Chains A and B, each alone.
With several copies, the nearest count.
Chain A
Amino acid sequence: MKATIIVTLKPTVLDPQGITIQRCVQSMGLPEVTDIRQGKYFDVQLADNTPPERRKELIQRLAKDVLTNPVIEEFRIDWDQKS
């Protein structure tokens, strides 16, 4: 059982990496790229015998308490129903 957690900077928080990449890309001759924001992506694998109600709680906790710094980031969970 898998889930994907995506952690991004809050929209108003400065993203120096994104800005730098975007500037570079522009000067490389891709002026159409007007903005890039970088985030983190986590593929999480859960043991197959994890009960469904526990899954939800688990992934939530993982996303909220471990993978996200709530001061500057926010997260989003993509549930993957496969496998």
Chain B
Amino acid sequence: MITEDVLSQHGISGAEFDRIKDILKREPTITELGIFSVMWSEHCSYKSSRVHLRRLPTKGSNVLQGPGENAGIIDIGDGLAVAFKIESHNHPSYIEPFQGAATGVGGILRDIFTMGARPIACMNSLRFGPLGSTQNRHIMEGVVGGIAFYGNCFGVPTVGGEVSFAKCYSPNPLVNAFALGIFEKDKIFYGRAKGVGNPVIYVGAKTGRDGIHGATMASAGFGEDAGAKRPNVQIGDPFMEKLLLEACLEAMNKGLIVGIQDMGAAGLTSSSCEMGARAGTGVELELDQVPQREEAMTAYEIMLSESQERMLLVAEKAREKEIFEVFHKWGLDAVTVGRVTADGLLRVKQHGKVMAEIPNKQLADEGPRYERPMLPPKSTGTSRLDYFTFLDGCDETLIQEFLNADHNPGTADFNRLMLLAAGSPNLCGRQWVWEQYDHMVQSNTMIGPGSDAAVIRIKDTGKAIAMTLDGPAYLVSRHPREGAKMMVAEAARNIVCSGGRPVAATNCLNFGNPEHPEIMWQFSEVVDGIAEACSVLETPITGGNVSFYNETLGDNIYPTPVLGMVGIIENLDHVTSSGFMDAGDSIVLVETSRMDIGKIDLNDERALQFMVRDAIQSGLVKSAHDISEGGLASALAECCYGTMHRPAIGATVKIPSHLEACKDLFGEHPSRILLTTQNASELGKRAGAAGLELREIGKVGGKRFVLEYEGQNAVDLAIDELETVWRRTFPKLLS
């Protein structure tokens, strides 16, 4: 009955099929094959990545929960903890941008409140192909609209993230969603089916034939027939999710819940067998009890459906009724669909027949594991964009303007280049995106989108949480290991600039086809880079997600790791943003003594971050901004642009001369921070003591943006003019 064809439709190899038969000691039924295929898909089993992920540092004094649960958890003091995680929804967003992105947000939010935490912030990292193409514009509008639709309605502020453009994401976008929630640290819930005899309860939306094989879909690239896979996409219902959140938290508070897990990828299958595996128990499901939206659904379909907004929970035997009352209060269905057993098996019954019977442990934890072959590229020469990665994905004419200026600085018009940089797709203002996101709901947003890191105060504690997402894909594509280190360093630097101490991180690893040895090599290098940087900067990894097979017609995307860093700000007075504050403030550049490009010295970086953190905590710093894409000139301009509380303000700055004008203005050396202060000399002393270079390079004030270079005004523009270009580009690119 199970033919080669059926196996290949399920993405199960011959060897894997043999293992299945070994485990079952018989041929699987079709339902069982479906169940194995989703649990052993790349998406759920991490079969290509697991051997590498083990190298990530996962322990630290603040870490309460590392990888392996729905989200990582850190202790933030005062008896409180935060749970956070990032997850990709790339493939669904490619197929249906709006719903794909929306359900991505829904999925990550469930991962957070499944653990008992109330989501208090979201971020997202987005990659698209250049907006010259109608298809890419359409995808981006859909993705941003979908994120806004879901997050706004659910009532969580979307406080930050990143958007960038490169050809390799055309038309296969990356959509990575991050969420963070807060709870009391002794009220953490886990996905464990404990207590033999306890009821297994299904809550939330009814099951339809949505997204069947979503997990396997996310584990295969797209060919010409991407359209044919379309009916798989699920629809998000943020209102239902909001009700689920409130009802679940209420039931948890009342002590009614023993174990709980969201039905995400692989739906009922993964939630039930993973809960059983973690507790060492069995789970018996009676599918006739499962609320169904469509007629005549088979066991296969019910087990594999990825209908959204559903949770599975295990309750105390005697308190079923109380659970129902809570859910009914919130207008939700709650139905007992099974019970916890002692035999360690996932047993699925329908119409009185056993349709599947598989040991939970082997299904959930003992999936295949591959050490796929790896192959480094023959050589990595230099690239013309090594200094100017922000130009990647831009029109060739724009790139040429910068490269010409780099070669012939004498004849270059830097006013023009400044305007071009500010209006280039990767640097221009992203208000078009984040004004569609409610970034203020819950009234905690001290620093929203647009600064280095977002800052959310924690009511009644005097503390705040800082968070950021970073993924410098072009750098990583050039040197995977160094790029990954720079990514971690930049994320931590962003936290530091906002006044925080970086504490822990989550990561989303978006890669091409792992069956290609070069991709697997990139993956391994990136993991090593993250591991090294996270060790040095003492920011353990508490979880993450891997998305492989990001390719279209055989072209792989850049290796695109995205790091989500979380930090603690112990005192609200330390909260710092990137925008300049007052006329007359001194602008100070702090950097390491090296002027590397495309690589980083982590010990220097650490010294830099410590020094700046300390300076902020001593009250010496009025604003702080990390220098990244677009170099010093772009960073300075960003500090001048209007914020929600003051109009644009000018600055006059002497740009230090190291190389040539274009590189000194726009070159992207890592490990540099711009500060403003009224006490530059004290900062200078501290920097000196830390072995860092610090220069007072200018003053805030006026209405002009003036950059002097080797005695000449290389840039001299009205700040309003520059800001207008920066602010208007995005809407223009879309119209």
**Chain A residues within 8 Å of B, Cβ to Cβ:** 10, 12-16, 20, 23, 69-72
A16 to B235, CA, bound (A): 8
State how many angstroms separate the Cβ of B296 from the closest Cβ of chain A. Answer: 12
Q: Mark B228-240, 1 if CB is under 8 A from A, else 0.
A: 0011011111011
Q: Mark B283-321, 1 if CB is under 8 A from A, else 0.
A: 000000000011000000000000110000000000000
Can you list the 5 inter-chain pairs with the closest CB atoms, starting with the nearest? A16-B237, A14-B235, A71-B96, A71-B230, A71-B233
Interface membership of B160, Cβ < 8 A = no
Contact A14 B233, beta carbon cutoff 8 Å: no
Given the interface contacts A71-B230, A71-B233, A72-B235, does A14 sit within 8 Å of B208 by beta carbon?
A: yes
Interface membership of B77, Cβ < 8 A = no
Given A12-B231, A14-B308, output 10 extra A-B contacts at Cβ < 8 Å. A13-B210, A14-B205, A14-B208, A14-B293, A15-B235, A16-B236, A20-B239, A71-B96, A71-B233, A72-B99
Contact B234 A14, beta carbon cutoff 8 Å: yes
Contact A14 B237, beta carbon cutoff 8 Å: yes
Interface membership of B95, Cβ < 8 A = yes
Main secondary structure of the interface of A (DSSP, over half): loop
Using CB atoms, name the residue of chain B closest to A10. B231
Using CB atoms, name the residue of chain B closest to A69. B96
Using CB atoms, name the residue of chain B closest to A24. B331
Contact B239 A71, beta carbon cutoff 8 Å: no
Q: Which residues of A contact B307 (CB under 8 A)?
A: 14
Q: Which residues of B contact A72 (CB under 8 A)?
A: 96, 99, 233, 235
Residue of A15, A70, A71 contacting most chain B CB atoms (<10 Å): A71
Q: Which residues of B contact A71 (CB under 8 A)?
A: 95-96, 99, 230-231, 233
A74 to B267, CA, bound (A): 27
A72 to B237, CA, bound (A): 15
B215-246: which residues lie under 8 A (CB-CB) from chain A?
230-231, 233-237, 239-240
By the criterion of a CB under 8 Å from any partner CB, how many residues of chain B are at the interface?
Answer: 21
Using CB atoms, name the residue of chain A closest to B237. A16
State how many angstroms separate the Cβ of B491 from the closest Cβ of chain A. Answer: 35
Contact A12 B208, beta carbon cutoff 8 Å: yes
Q: Which residues of B contact A14 (CB under 8 A)?
A: 205, 208, 210, 234-235, 237, 293, 307-308
A75 to B386, CA, bound (A): 50
State how many angstroms separate the Cβ of B247 from the closest Cβ of chain A. Answer: 15
Interface membership of B209, Cβ < 8 A = yes
A14 to B309, CA, bound (A): 12
Contact A12 B294, beta carbon cutoff 8 Å: yes
Q: Which residues of A contact B235 (CB under 8 A)?
A: 13-16, 72
Q: Which residues of B contact A10 (CB under 8 A)?
A: 231
State how many angstroms separate the Cβ of B7 from the closest Cβ of chain A. Answer: 27
A10 to B237, CA, bound (A): 16
A75 to B240, CA, bound (A): 27
Residue of A10, A12, A15, A70 contacting most chain B CB atoms (<10 Å): A12
Q: Which residues of B contact A13 (CB under 8 A)?
A: 210, 235
Given the interface contacts A71-B233, A72-B233, does A16 sit within 8 Å of B239 by beta carbon?
A: yes
Q: Which residues of A contact B240 (CB under 8 A)?
A: 16
Q: Which residues of A contact B234 (CB under 8 A)?
A: 14
Residue of A10, A69, A72 contacting most chain B CB atoms (<10 Å): A72
Q: Which residues of A contact B239 (CB under 8 A)?
A: 16, 20
Can you identify 10 A-B contacts, CB atoms within 8 angstroms? A12-B231, A13-B210, A13-B235, A14-B307, A14-B308, A16-B239, A20-B239, A69-B96, A71-B233, A72-B96
A34 to B422, CA, bound (A): 39
